[in-house]
């Protein structure tokens, strides 16, 4: 997951 942190962050954003 550390390797894919932008995807992870964008999916977690509520909008």
Partner 1 sequence: SHLLVVEPEKIYAMPDPTMPDGDIKALTTLCDLADRELVVIIGWAKHIPGFSSLSLADQMSLLQSAWMEILVLSIVFRSLACEEELVYAEDYVVDEEHARLSGLLDLHVAILPLVRRYKKLSMEREEFVTLKAIALANSDSMHIEDVEAVQRLQDSLHEALQDLEGAHNTEDPRRAGKLLMTLPLLRQTAAKAVQHFYSIKVQGKVPMHKLFLEMLEAKA
Q: Which residues bind partner 1 (CB under 8 A)?
A: 1, 3-8, 10-12, 15
Q: Are 1 and 8 in contact (CB under 8 A)?
A: yes
* Dihedral sign for Cα atoms in the order 5, 8, 12, 15: positive
Q: How far is the CB of 10 from partner 1 (least distance, A)?
A: 5
> How far is 3 from 15, CA to CA, in rounded Å?
23
Least distance (Å) between residue 2 CB and partner 1: 11
Least separation, in Å, of the C-beta of 15 and partner 1? 7
């Amino acid at each position: 997951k550390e390797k894919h942190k932008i995807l992870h962050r964008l999916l977690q954003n509520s909008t």
